[in-house]
Amino acid sequence: MATLAEGQGAQSYLSDQSFFVKLSWVMAILILFAFAQNAALGRVDIPKVPYWVHIHGLAMLTWLGLFVNQNRLAASGNIALHRKLGWVSAFVVCLIVGLTSLAGVRAVELHRQPPFFDPAFFLMLTQVGAICFGGLVFAAIVNRRDTERHRRLMAGATIILLDAALGRLVPFPLLGGEMGEWVTTALMMVFVALIAAHDRRTLGRVHPATVTVGMVVILAHLVIALAARSGPVIALAARLSGQG
């Protein structure tokens, strides 16, 4: 959301920007609901949650607010404010990437990862997720002059964030960590499919940025699954957890 594409006529994006506004609301509400119900069911002992997790949660809330409002600003044609808030978003993204990486490492060190994940898998889940989120936002910023690509990559970055939210809705204790992650991947791909269907209605084809997002979602989970089985990652996770 660094800036709306420059140099394109308003009609090139305003005619279907409402789709991206609605999509942003749906994803934001889903993420908020997933974490809220998880706390309401008593699965989180909030007073014992480390301070960096609270900061991470605040950064994520800030991102969701910015994501929804940036799409709304684009729809209203308030491009000047959209661009200004875009650079605030870039700072928040850097914060989220760093905090996600830190939270993953510290969770393994303190044996705080969910019991259905082994340390190596959870370590890769957090690190690869952080890289994919940051990478898609960076790609969106680089392509900020191309509205169609920019907004799809931004939506894709937020789809990556759905992983943690869906993990609180999918029955991981029954499925196990790795199988549960493939279920969340399939659910994340539903959102990619919604964008692809919109592409076909409005553009007559699936936009390359949508294809890129879908590939990132699938490849990320392949990398996580394979890396978690590798000797160096297993050894690293064991050292972090004090077992190596």
* Mean pLDDT within 165-192: 88
**Percentage of residues in the chain having pLDDT higher than 90:** 66
3-state DSSP assignment of residue 109:
helix
Q: Count CA within 13 A, CB hemisphere, residue 35.
A: 18
CA distances from 57 to 30, 45, 95 (A): 15, 15, 11
Say yes or no to pLDDT of 228 above 90: yes
Residue 58's pLDDT band, with cuts at 50, 70 and 90, is very high
> What pLDDT is stored for residue 244 in this prediction?
58
State residue 10's pLDDT score: 44
Output the pLDDT for position 167. Answer: 86
Which pLDDT does position 152 carry in this prediction?
A: 97
Name the residue with higher pLDDT: 125 or 244.
125
Q: Which of the residue ranges 1-5, 22-26, 131-135, 145-149 would you say has the lowest mean pLDDT?
A: 1-5
- Whole-angstrom distance, CA of residue 183 vs CA of residue 117: 15
Q: Round the average pLDDT of the chain to a whole number and report it.
A: 89
**What pLDDT does residue 7 have?**
40
Residue 235 amino acid letter = A
Quick check: 2 pLDDT over 60?
no
Residue 4 has what pLDDT? 46
| Alpha carbon distance 222, 178 (integer Å) | 10
Does residue 136 surpass a pLDDT of 90? yes
**Model confidence at 116: pLDDT above 80:** yes
pLDDT 10s digits, 202-214: 999 999 999 999 9
Helix ranges, the chain (H): 11-14, 17-40, 51-76, 79-109, 119-142, 147-166, 172-175, 177-202, 208-227, 231-240
Q: DSSP labels for 19-85? A: HHHHHHHHHHHHHHHHHHHHHHTT---GGGS-HHHHHHHHHHHHHHHHHHHHHHHHHHT-HHHHHHH
Domain spans, the chain: 11-240
Asked whether the beta carbons of 31 and 165 are under 8 A apart, the reply is: yes
Task: Please report the pLDDT score of residue 12 as a whole number.
Answer: 63
Backbone Cα Rg of the chain? 18
What confidence tens digit (pLDDT) does each residue in 60-114 have? Answer: 999 999 999 999 999 988 888 988 888 899 999 999 999 999 999 999 999 888 8
